[in-house]
Every structure is written in C-alpha cells, then in structure tokens.
Amino acid sequence: MMTVPTLCMVSFLFLARVLVLKAENNDLKEEVETLESRADHNAPADAVGIVSNADFRGHGGANEHKRQAMHIIRNK
C-alpha cells in the first residue's frame, strides 16, 4: 500500500506531465495555424508559378487552357 507522501508525489508528477503535454499541444496548434496561414497566403502565387511554367504543348488549345487556369487562380 502507498503512503500519503508517495501518493502526493505520484499525483504531482502526473499533474506536471499533463501540464507539459498541454503546453506542447498549444505550441503545436500555434505552429499549425502559422503554417496554414502561410500556405493560404502563398498558395495563389505558387499556383501561378506552376501554371505559368507548365508545358502545355501537344495539347489542343494549350494557350486557352493556360489562360483559363491563370484566370481561376487569380480570382480565387
């Protein structure tokens, strides 16, 4: 059977671990939010770069496809 001081120590260690995990979780949430906002901000520019550098040769109406893609990205 555990003594009172042992139970107090185990309870304290458990509480400390819970608090550490909660702090780590909050840090991860903030990091994810930062990455999401950065991704949302950069996505249209990245997509424009991908489409403008894409090779549409060999496809019928290549310039029209590229123009439509750029229009969709810019109006997002």
Q: What is the pLDDT of residues 2-16, one digit of tens each?
A: 788 888 888 888 888
pLDDT given at position 57? 57
CA dihedral for 38, 40, 43, 44, sign (positive or negative): negative
User: What is the largest distance, in Å, between two alpha-carbon atoms of the chain?
Assistant: 82
Residue 57 lies in a domain: yes
pTM of the model: 0.40
Residue 50 lies in a domain: yes
- 45-57 pLDDT, tens digit per residue, is 555 555 555 555 5
- The number of folded domains in the chain is 1
Residue 53 lies in a domain: yes
Q: What DSSP designation does 59 have?
A: S
Residue 9 lies in a domain: no
Structural domain of 34: 20-74
